Chain A
Amino acid sequence: RKEVEQDPGPFNVPEGATVAFNCTYSNSASQSFFWYRQDCRKEPKLLMSVYSSGNEDGRFTAQLNRASQYISLLIRDSKLSDSATYLCVVLNAGNMLTFGGGTRLMVKP
């Protein structure tokens, strides 16, 4: 079993749709959680950190469920510019990042 698992997609959605991505992690001692966005042939860029209380940044909402070892990202009112690969990233002891395989989102006009 992979340490961080994501549905690779692609998720094809129309503009304006709401889409949700899920991620599970296997290490119960994982300390911090992030969603990164990666555009084709570019480096990953931090989208948002994920907290147990849930956090929202504009159209993006992230949730963490430690009991179920589950992280989610919700995107509302999808824009064409949201098309990218979304990486679930878990930070473990020793400052080690573990990446999920990424979920590819394609927003169509």
Chain B
Amino acid sequence: GAVVSQHPSWVICKSGTSVKIECRSLDFQATTMFWYRQFPKQSLMLMATSNEGSKATYEQGVEKDKFLINHASLTLSTLTVTSAHPEDSSFYICSASRSPNTEAFFGQGTRLTVV
């Protein structure tokens, strides 16, 4: 199956710093990737849709200036958590599909802890 790679797997950062998370589709091109956040014992919540070559589409309640998304190529999307705070600590995960209306493949996820 398709492979989506996410990096880093985990990160601990100080409050106020920024963290960049990368999501790569390794064996297919993805014009669209999705970023999710998952808090403990809760389901995945869509944060934004990352579109190659254009601006991301953010879900209601997600601050676009805080969660910067860049989809510079057909195989790479990045999520930058700016000025991170402890409440941003969560499991961030990306997904991509090989083609529309087919199953999504997920990156391994990034566990962010802000101290």
Binding site for B on A (CB under 8 A): 31-32, 34, 41-46, 49, 87, 89, 91, 94-102
Any A CB within 8 A of the CB of B106: yes
Collect the chain A residues with CB atoms within 8 Å of residue B1's CB.
46
Question: Smallest distance from the beta carbon of A7 to chain B beta carbons, Å?
Answer: 13
Kindly identify which residue among B32, B44, B100, B109 contacts A99, using a CB–CB cutoff of 8 Å. B44
Q: Helix, strand, loop or mixed for chain A's interface?
A: strand
Greatest chain B CB density within 10 A among A31, A43, A95, A101 is at: A43
Q: Which residues of B contact A (CB under 8 A)?
A: 1, 6, 32, 34, 42-44, 46, 49, 91, 93, 95, 97, 100-109, 111
Q: By the criterion CB–CB under 8 Å, are B44 and A95 in contact? A: no
Contact with B103, one of A34, A41, A98, A99 (Cβ below 8 angstroms): A34
Beyond A95-B32, A97-B34, A97-B95, whether A43 also contacts B106 by CB under 8 A is yes
At the interface, is chain B mostly helix, strand, loop or mixed? strand
Q: Is the CB of B97 within 8 A of A95?
A: yes
**A91 interface neighbour in B32, B49, B101, B106, Cβ under 8 Å:** B101
Q: For residue B103, which residues in chain A have a CB less than 8 angstroms away from its CB?
A: 32, 34, 46, 49
Q: CA–CA, A87 to B95, complex, Å?
A: 15
Beyond the given A43-B6, A100-B43, could you list 17 further A-B residue pairs with CB under 8 A, ordered by the A residue number? A31-B101, A34-B103, A43-B108, A43-B109, A44-B44, A44-B93, A46-B104, A87-B43, A87-B44, A95-B100, A96-B46, A96-B49, A97-B34, A97-B46, A98-B46, A99-B43, A99-B44
Residues of A within 8 A of B46 (CB): 96-98
**Are B43 and A32 neighbours in the complex by a CB distance under 8 Å?**
no
Chain B nearest CB: distance from A26 CB in Å?
16
Nearest A-chain residue to B93, judged by Cβ: A43
- Separation in Å of the B8 CB from the closest CB of chain A? 14
Question: Shortest beta-carbon distance, A83 to chain B, in Å?
Answer: 15
| With A41-B91, A44-B106: A101-B101 Cβ-Cβ less than 8 Å | no
Can you name the residue of chain A whose Cβ is closest to the Cβ of B38?
A: A38
